[in-house]
């Protein structure tokens, strides 16, 4: 671990094995470049498509895509066996998104290695990645979620007509179909007519064995950063009006592609209500350190759609806009995330809950 007077060695892990690896690369680079060098020594680490860790050189770090990096790893990077990671870093800033990075898998590995890391622990990370489990817990706590059905691939294959009838009677059209454990609108379809349902279900099942079919919400789409451990606070929410039926990955993360309005164009009392609901959802789900929680305001009600326990940290992402409203620079926010993470790991008993 860190010796007195020495900077904390922060390994920033990016890339990964999920459909969100290109966003992760942008997040990881931005995190690395916004580390406070008076406190931290940054070490860029790439998780490749086979789950292997590599210490990157700076020329690799600036490559355009994860495929470009992978093509050069053997010659230009240094392989890091899992059991050697603790010799290289004191702390891990997880810049990964999606499966195997945001869902408790990497968190469990780091717990076994005894390395503190950013964000929630194994359980809260797994819950946050699973939209169905998230909604079950929120519903039990009295927090509104979209009206939805969770349908397994097995049920769809064996009882398709029954499932189609249940969808029509419970939700009707239009509706939304999405995989349970994907982000960035991957595998998401808006279904306006009955004959569009089968291809939408097939697309969702390309990504997971369970999908959600939910009502198509019409209202103000919002996203809200929440930060803290025992006493979390919500940033001012951002309004994210989509150009089409839903926000695309490009609109969410690429500069100039989407519109992010911070604070959201809502009455002050509704802003406060959004913040209260998002903090409550954060607590119910056992989230730690920071997260971004998405939802809608419809007819004066706040409806929570999902939580992101490792929110995107690309330069244009809205969590930086929200932090700026509180007077925090990107470096300030990243420093605060590290400090809160270290606090959570100091206080834990067993793995971070």
Q: 317-332 pLDDT, tens per residue? A: 999 999 999 999 999 9
Residue 203 backbone dihedrals phi, psi, to 5 degrees = -65, -45
Q: Which parts of the chain have pLDDT scores under 70?
A: 1-4, 244-258
Domains of the chain are: 8-117 (3.40.50.20), 128-144+218-347 (3.30.470.20), 148-215 (3.30.1490.20)
Residue 108, CB-side half-sphere exposure with 13 Å CA sphere: 9
What is the Cα gyration radius of the chain?
20
- Rounded CA gap, 251 and 241, in Å? 9
Yes or no: say if 303 and 274 are a contact pair by the CB < 8 Å rule. no
- Looking at residue 256, its pLDDT comes to 60
- Looking at residue 128, its pLDDT comes to 97
- Looking at residue 259, its pLDDT comes to 81
Q: Other CB atoms closer than 10 Å to residue 22's CB: what's the count?
A: 18
Nearest to 179 by CA among 154, 204, 149, 206: 204
- Rounded CA gap, 339 and 343, in Å? 6
Chain mean position to CA 53: 21
pTM score, whole prediction: 0.93
- Looking at residue 141, its pLDDT comes to 98
């Amino acid at each position: 671990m860190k010796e007195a007077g020495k900077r904390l060695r922060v390994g920033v892990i990016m890339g990964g094995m999920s459909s969100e690896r290109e966003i992760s690369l942008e997040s990881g680079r931005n995190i690395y470049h916004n580390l406070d060098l008076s406190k931290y020594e940054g070490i860029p680490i790439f998780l490749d498509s086979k789950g292997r860790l590599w210490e990157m050189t700076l020329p690799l770090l600036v490559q355009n895509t994860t495929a470009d990096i992978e093509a050069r790893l053997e010659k230009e990077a240094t392989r890091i066996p899992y059991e050697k990671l603790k010799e290289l870093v004191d702390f891990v800033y997880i810049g990964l998104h999606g499966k195997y990075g945001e869902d408790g898998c990497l968190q469990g590995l780091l717990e076994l290695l005894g390395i503190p890391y950013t964000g929630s622990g194994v359980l809260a990370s797994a819950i946050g990645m699973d939209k169905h489990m998230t909604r079950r817990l929120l519903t039990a706590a009295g927090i509104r979620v979209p009206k939805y059905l969770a349908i397994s691939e097995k049920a769809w294959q064996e009882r398709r007509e029954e499932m189609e009838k249940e969808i029509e009677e419970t939700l009707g059209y239009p509706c939304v179909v999405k995989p349970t454990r994907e982000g960035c609108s991957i595998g998401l379809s808006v279904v306006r007519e009955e004959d569009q349902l089968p291809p939408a279900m097939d697309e969702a099942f390309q990504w997971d064995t369970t999908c959600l079919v939910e009502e198509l919400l019409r209202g103000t789409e919002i996203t809200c950063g929440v930060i803290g451990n025992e006493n979390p606070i919500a940033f001012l929410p951002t309004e994210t009006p989509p150009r089409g039926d839903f926000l695309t990955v490009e609109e969410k993360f690429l500069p100039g592609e989407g519109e992010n309005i911070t604070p959201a164009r809502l009455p002050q009392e509704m802003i406060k209500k959004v913040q209260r609901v998002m903090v409550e959802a954060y607590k119910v789900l056992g989230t730690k350190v920071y997260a971004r929680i998405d939802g809608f305001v419809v007819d004066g009600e706040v409806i929570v759609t999902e939580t992101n326990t490792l929110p995107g940290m690309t330069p244009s992402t809205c969590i930086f806009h929200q932090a700026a409203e509180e007077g925090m620079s990107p470096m300030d926010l990243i420093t605060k995330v590290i400090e809160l993470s270290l606090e959570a790991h100091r206080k834990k008993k067993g793995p971070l809950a």
